[in-house]
Structure 1
């Protein structure tokens, strides 16, 4: 199973679940998302299409044909996208504080409470360079504020919390990480006004028929309950649970409860078969750059064959 972290974090955020899942007999791998940690820092590729392709390729690179995906925040959105765009490689998904993309957009536009918590801070990072300076100023003090405003009070006073904030501040100061992490948010917002975003959201508007576990800390001020619960409209087999005493980082705040919920889900839900996934989801071709397509390439070959040979 593949574990994907959220905004402002890195693979270490899954430290508690990694050991517990391994002890339960599962092969668990936590990775840095594109642009974070020790990964490459390409200037582009932070769209839903590419991130889902990254996950698909990573599963196969690890020697598997399919996997269970577990994601928090931005990592959860990658889980939703991969399950929709590459259904053959996803057995089931677990999303933590990460609503279905269409549910999140709907609630951000229609629900005043969700809009004030999510959209306002989300928009602050849209301006180039200004967002990067804000995130990295004073040794990435932004990350300390980010955690403080979204974590539960019970976790904020612990040594584990202090260590978590310190490590994530250091990780954000790795060259180009601030820019790459903000590019996720910039694409998510700007694509809503472009054809690629319309196409992505159109494809996400199909019903998944694989098991889904949606988890949320009951005290999460950032992602509200209705947005998480709305996922059942796009996931026929979604189970939604709220964890007591947890905020936005519930998998770190209440690790035992989250791990137990995941293990219970894994034991109770059989893996989706390839036949079901393919039958219920139409084939989707990845977006390609406008200058290249197989049809255009074939047309050029035909024209070259018809061209007269010079004497």
Structure 2
């Protein structure tokens, strides 16, 4: 019996100090319905000192659409989210920065590598770091989508509303752009434009599952994480609010740092970029310096 072909790899967008083999690497994973293009302001901010790999999640941006086998339920889709990121990291570590696995290898990547993710991308980054600590040196997660079993059920039951919302955006993207920029005056117009375009092209079959994370319980991920992580959240309708945030703090993993940016919503960085970077950047530099001192086996 012939095995099913492996799913096609995610699209990668490279930026920053690509000619500097010693420059640390940031691998960016966006939230649901966004794309790699939605990181444009952060990419320009980090590019002078880092090499950057911005990924389009499956069914988003330039990445392949979803295979039916992975869309059976939330668990199979969530496992594919994690596998996609793990596969990309394995290729980067083994063959260096290249836009596609079909390109010639440029040799193993030994520079420090940090994952940076928002929402779905944040929790997926933490999940992969938990299961594959050999691939990463640290994680920055912006209001990661830590959901409980009850939340998963509610997301599944209400996914049709998000599908309808995406269809509505596709019918009138300019109205969505105007609404977003009016309601969120500090948001970069370039990122809002990219977000609207990504919403118009997202794979609605995935959206219809209500899947926002890999299936591993977030408590297991937080308790077992063996690489440093910084979790940044806000106070205005964020995922990590109230008792949920206190539950995170109670896990007491010494490798996890947290920061709350007052008045920030779920899109912390897009709303308060200066405050986000004031927290994230010094922490990242500390982890990068630690990674350089530790080095990687030849």
- TM-score over 0.5 for the pair: yes
1:209 is paired with a residue of what secondary structure? coil
Tell me the TM-score normalised to structure 2 length: 0.67
| C-alpha contact (below 8 Å) 2:38/2:195 kept by paired residues | no
Indicate how the Cα distance of structure 1 residues 85 and 144 shifts in structure 2: closer, same or farther if over 3 A, else same.
Answer: farther
**Structure-to-structure mapping, 1:284-303, within 5 angstroms:** none
Deviation at 1:28, TM superposition (A): 2.0
CA distance in 2, matches of 1:228, 1:141: 36
- SS of residue paired to 1:3: strand
1:57 counterpart = 2:57: no
Q: What is aligned with 1:283?
A: none
**CA distance in 1 between partners of 2:204 and 2:28 (Å):** 21
Whether 1:77 aligns to 2:155 is no
Work out whether residues 211 and 238 of structure 1, in 8 Å CA contact, stay in contact via their aligned partners in 2.
yes
**1:95 matched to 2:120:** no
CA distance in 2, matches of 1:35, 1:234: 35
Q: Can you list the C-alpha shifts for 1:158-211, whole angstroms capped at 9, x where unaligned? A: 28466544442332222x52223444x3486xx9xxxxx5xx339647422321
Q: CA deviation at 1:91?
A: 0.8
Q: What displacement does 1:254 show?
A: 0.9
How far apart in 2 are the matches of 1:181 and 1:260?
33
Larger Rg: 1
Match for residue 56 of structure 2 among 26, 32, 50: 32
Cα pair 2:119 2:144 within 8 Å, conserved: yes
Contact 2:169 2:200 in 1 (8 A): no
Distance of 2:162 and 2:235 partners within structure 1: 30
Aligned residues: 244
Does the CA-based 8 Å contact 2:119-2:143 persist in structure 1?
Answer: yes
Find the residue that maps to 1:68 and give its secondary structure.
strand
Cα drift, residue 98 of structure 1: 0.9
Higher helix share: 1
| Alignment partners' CA distance in 1, 2:171 and 2:268 | 22
**Matches for 1:141-290 after TM superposition, within 5 Å:** 156-158=183-185, 160=187, 164-174=191-201, 177-183=203-209, 185-186=210-211, 197=215, 200-201=216-217, 204=221, 206-232=223-249, 233=251, 235-269=253-287, 270-271=290-291
> Is there any run of 5+ residues in structure 1 with no aligned partner, and where?
110-114, 192-196, 276-311
Provide the TM-score with structure 1 as the length reference: 0.64
CA distance in 1, matches of 2:188, 2:262: 18
Q: Is the 8 A contact 1:69 1:90 kept in 2?
A: yes
Other structure's SS at 1:220 match: coil
3-state DSSP of counterpart to 1:246 = coil
Change in 2 beyond 3 A, CA 1:167/1:58: same
Alignment partners' CA distance in 1, 2:266 and 2:286: 26
Secondary structure in 2 matching 1:210: coil
1:43 pairs, out of 67, 74, 77, with 67
Q: Is the 8 A contact 1:59 1:67 kept in 2?
A: no
1:144: how far off?
7.7
Q: Which blocks of at least 5 consecutive residues in structure 2 are unaligned?
A: 1-25, 71-75, 97-108
